[in-house]
Structure 1
Amino acid sequence: MGACKSKVVHQNTTLPPMEGRQEKEFNIFDNDGKEKDEEDQYDKEATKEEKEEVSVVPLYVTNGHNETNNISLSNPEFNTVDNDQTNKNEEDQDDKDATKKEKEKVDMTNAHNQKNTISLSKPLKAALLSSDIPYCEYPLKKGDLSMNGATPWYCTIAIGTPAQPLKFMIDTGTKNTWVTSSTCATDACLVHTGFDKQKSSSLTPADKPPNKVDFGPWGEMEVDYVHDISHLDLESEKRLDQRPLTELCTQEILIMLATNYSGEQFKNLLADGGMAIPSEFDEKATALPHALKNGGITKFEVCSFYTDPVMGTGVCRMGALDINRFDENTVQWIETKPNSDFSYLWCVELDEFTCNGSVVDIGTGKGFNLALDTGSSFFKGSNDVITKITNAIEGSGLQRLSRVLHSKEDLHKYPTLELNIAGTNYELTPEQYFFKVGNRWELGFQVMNGLPPDMLLAGSIFLDTVYCAFIREEEGVVLLAQPKSTSQSFNIGGTNWINSYDSKLYI
């Protein structure tokens, strides 16, 4: 669901503190730093030799750092030149000025990119990329998109004792874990499966009175706060070593039981509730990744996503990355940028948004936030931000383009979009940023009242094109990488337990 107001650690390993840490671009290969130093030394020696060889003519050389140096004339006897030489010198000066400006631009870009990437310690990096750490895995299924803007992806997680299986969005766009209550009798509630608290022996009331929670444009939700356990199992399933699964794979979390909500947006939700994955620290363990780590089931507070929108299947893995599902050469570890009004969102800085190769002036590169929201489907933003983007898309053709199509064949008329995040361009084709509703195709950008003018929220339209992971300790980190094709065979192995609705525990 959209944004609404309402660590990963290896043993003896922590994320380096942000303050006082030398900022540098992270590269996942350990030897890159050493190799880069050797290359720089080689380039410096080569440049020195070139300088010694050439002393009488202007020459541009590259010093190995993408900086262009101009070697000027140093011998006075070669300065007796005619007007052509004077013009040549003026041209050289123009080239120097242009080169200086380009160098300043490159330096600013490099500094900006370094500011937006985070350097992880080698032990932590190695642990995160390891294939032998415990995790819980939740198969994702894709339903039909609706105009409510919520994600079409959901999984089955069981709550209570005995376990009651329910459909959940796994939602990085909220801080509230909630589920429909069986006591809710509105039209919007009745189309969903409700959790019956009277049937759960493990439920305990929370030390919080009933409340109304504001879900922004969606309206209010009346809730009761309770503690209960989340399961991967249904009732009596066991691990292969015959120990009850509940010893390892149930964990108490704080849940909001929705006793009253209404409206078409809630009614059209595919899920019965939402499992919150907020970026801010959650000492009350309302977030499942934190609860799993806090309970000793997993070692890392990480939630990763792999989705295949064509096949309509995906995987959410908590506690670990799935190194078989992304290209390690494309990994970016990106520092999150907390927003004061939406501190629970996973925001990274959006450097540039381009349409058909031209920058769309929405304020990017000046602290502009891109919020990565697995609970949403569309791109969402303020009226000003969305209007500028849609105007750029619709005005990119020889004739004014429409935001609603009745034939997929017309998609070729539309431009390619690019999002530049931490120095990397992420491309979106028209087939990716349009979505099908019934017999028509609609542009996947939506105005969301209440979002600040310096934020663009990205849902599944963007996230389905990448492998993404949300990692949290004192600081938040987002991993983005190019997903591998589902046509490849994955070596799963090591399954200790699997339940009747395909959730898995690996240890």
Structure 2
Amino acid sequence: MSRNDAPGLVIEMSRGPFQNNGATPWYCILGVGSPAQQLYFCFDTGSNFNWLTSSLCGEGECQHYAGHQFQIDASNSFEWISQTTRKVSFGPWGDMQAALGSDVLTIDEANGLALRSGILLSSRYDSSEFAELDWDGGIGLGSSQTDSSGSASQNTSLRCYQQQATTGEEFDFFLQLIQAGLVSQDKPYMSFVTEKDRAYVGFGVLEQSYSRSLEYVFLPWACYQPEASYLWTTANASIGLKGEAAVGSKLFFALDSGSSQFKGDYAVLSSLFKLTQQSHKTVVITLHDEQGQPYTELSIPSELYLCEIEAGQDAGETLAQFNALEGAEGILLVGSVLMDHLYTVYEYQVDEQQNLSPLGIWIFNKPDGPKILSNQQSAPADIFNR
């Protein structure tokens, strides 16, 4: 099969109830092990590892809304990489205790395609936030993916794992799709579609209904900090209320498919939370180029950031989704609260060794959705013509 003949992959997403824990309600169902156990996974552009709630959890441990556990002893294809329990940081969420194994992920939408992958298997959650999680685990879609393991630090408030150069420790899902011939390295795209009648994650596939759209912008990737280089961030963002002075500036802005809320810099998000409680005004994010000139503006009306909590301890309330994080200076992330109202495409570049590095993110207004983006381009996005 030539590179351009690779069909790409579409994996349908389902939605759980929106809960006030900062995690996306969207998940996909994948099979794990042999015979396959059907479990709920989030495809997460805000992390660099794969993990799963497992039968290592003791009685009463690892309680979460989705409610499933991977039964290690029931899989004939499971292999241990390291049974040593280690701490995995989820930042302000808390920590997860996990051991490292390897098993087969089965994707029904790919006619039974199975990929062997490294998976961190939880034995304990050291946080109450996991209780409201609509999924059982996550597949990391970090901004860089290589054949050799990376070396990210755990000294960050965000979701991160210190990878080791251990045989079998393979977390790079998108790279594996390319190596398996399912995704063309000429189409190194990941896209998220959440429409009323369908929702999916696309790998090497673009939603053609946006091929003629002029309401889009490209956000070039820039590294927030070395220990969080796996995040899909762009530089020089400011945020504030419409018609008022910016609350924060010179921020790194990230679209994080594993999150729901706006979260990040403690001072900035604390101020936004207070201001939106008082006025419910439109929040505006402005992106600037290297010369400091604005090139796009995102307008987020209150009906987007004021969300009804559908389950969990705050069920029935309508709450502003701004979460200030300790230790997240200079960064602003957002997930489904904004992404549900955009079409989002993450683009890699591929070198001769098939290592992946980030180019940036394309975002499009939805035809029948709120006009979040201010841009009106002169021609359609060139990713549809490559």
- TM-score (norm: length of structure 1): 0.59
Cα distance in structure 1, aligned partners of 2:209 and 2:59: 44
Instruction: Specify the alignment match of 1:369 in structure 2.
Output: 252
What is the Cα deviation at residue 347 of structure 1? 0.3
Contact 1:160 1:201 in 2 (8 A): yes
The structure with the greater share of residues assigned to helix is 1
Contact 2:52 2:120 in 1 (8 A): yes
Cα distance in structure 1, aligned partners of 2:268 and 2:211: 31
- Residue 138 of structure 2 is aligned to residue 261 of structure 1: no
Instruction: Specify the alignment match of 1:219 in structure 2.
Output: 94
Instruction: Specify the alignment match of 1:307 in structure 2.
Output: 194
Contact 2:262 2:337 in 1 (8 A): yes
Instruction: Specify the alignment match of 1:229 in structure 2.
Output: 104
Give SS of 1:352's match.
strand
Give SS of 1:361's match.
strand
What is the Cα deviation at residue 419 of structure 1? 1.7
- Residue 366 of structure 2 is aligned to residue 480 of structure 1: no
Instruction: Specify the alignment match of 1:189 in structure 2.
Output: 62
What is the Cα deviation at residue 329 of structure 1? 2.1
C-alpha change, 1:190 and 1:378, in structure 2 (3 Å) is closer
Cα distance in structure 2, aligned partners of 1:154 and 1:343: 24
Instruction: Specify the alignment match of 1:379 in structure 2.
Output: 262
* Aligned counterparts, 1:55-94, within 5 A: none
What is the Cα deviation at residue 377 of structure 1? 0.7
C-alpha change, 1:258 and 1:312, in structure 2 (3 Å) is farther
Instruction: Specify the alignment match of 1:349 in structure 2.
Output: 235
Cα distance in structure 2, aligned partners of 1:221 and 1:312: 35
Cα distance in structure 1, aligned partners of 2:121 and 2:212: 40
Contact 1:188 1:266 in 2 (8 A): no
C-alpha change, 1:197 and 1:325, in structure 2 (3 Å) is farther
Cα distance in structure 2, aligned partners of 1:287 and 1:359: 41
Cα distance in structure 1, aligned partners of 2:197 and 2:242: 29
Instruction: Specify the alignment match of 1:323 in structure 2.
Output: 208
The structure with the greater share of residues assigned to strand is 2
Contact 2:191 2:345 in 1 (8 A): yes
Cα distance in structure 1, aligned partners of 2:273 and 2:21: 19
Instruction: Specify the alignment match of 2:163 in structure 1.
Output: none
Instruction: Specify the alignment match of 2:30 in structure 1.
Output: 157
- Residue 290 of structure 2 is aligned to residue 418 of structure 1: no
Letter in 1 for 2:74: K
Cα distance in structure 2, aligned partners of 1:361 and 1:462: 19
One of 424, 428, 446 as aligned partner of 2:323: 446
Cα distance in structure 1, aligned partners of 2:272 and 2:130: 27
Q: Which runs of 5+ in 1 are unaligned?
A: 1-9, 12-126, 240-244, 395-399, 402-413, 487-507
C-alpha change, 1:187 and 1:303, in structure 2 (3 Å) is farther
Instruction: Specify the alignment match of 1:94 in structure 2.
Output: none
Contact 1:149 1:377 in 2 (8 A): yes
Instruction: Specify the alignment match of 1:117 in structure 2.
Output: none
- Deviations for 1:262-315, whole angstroms, at most 9, x for unmatched residues? 43211110100111111122425413212111222211443210113xx48521
Cα distance in structure 1, aligned partners of 2:56 and 2:237: 47
Contact 2:102 2:116 in 1 (8 A): yes
What is the Cα deviation at residue 167 of structure 1? 0.4
* Structure number, greater radius of gyration: 1
* Aligned counterparts, 1:195-206, within 5 A: 195-206=70-81
Cα distance in structure 1, aligned partners of 2:368 and 2:105: 31
One of 286, 290, 295 as aligned partner of 2:171: 286
C-alpha change, 1:266 and 1:205, in structure 2 (3 Å) is same
C-alpha change, 1:319 and 1:207, in structure 2 (3 Å) is farther
Give SS of 1:154's match.
strand
Q: Which runs of 5+ in 2 are unaligned?
A: 150-169, 289-294, 310-314, 350-355, 370-386
Instruction: Specify the alignment match of 2:299 in structure 1.
Output: 427
Cα distance in structure 1, aligned partners of 2:83 and 2:231: 24
How large is the Cα RMSD of the aligned pairs? 2.5
Cα distance in structure 1, aligned partners of 2:100 and 2:181: 24
C-alpha change, 1:432 and 1:181, in structure 2 (3 Å) is same
One of 221, 234, 244 as aligned partner of 1:336: 221
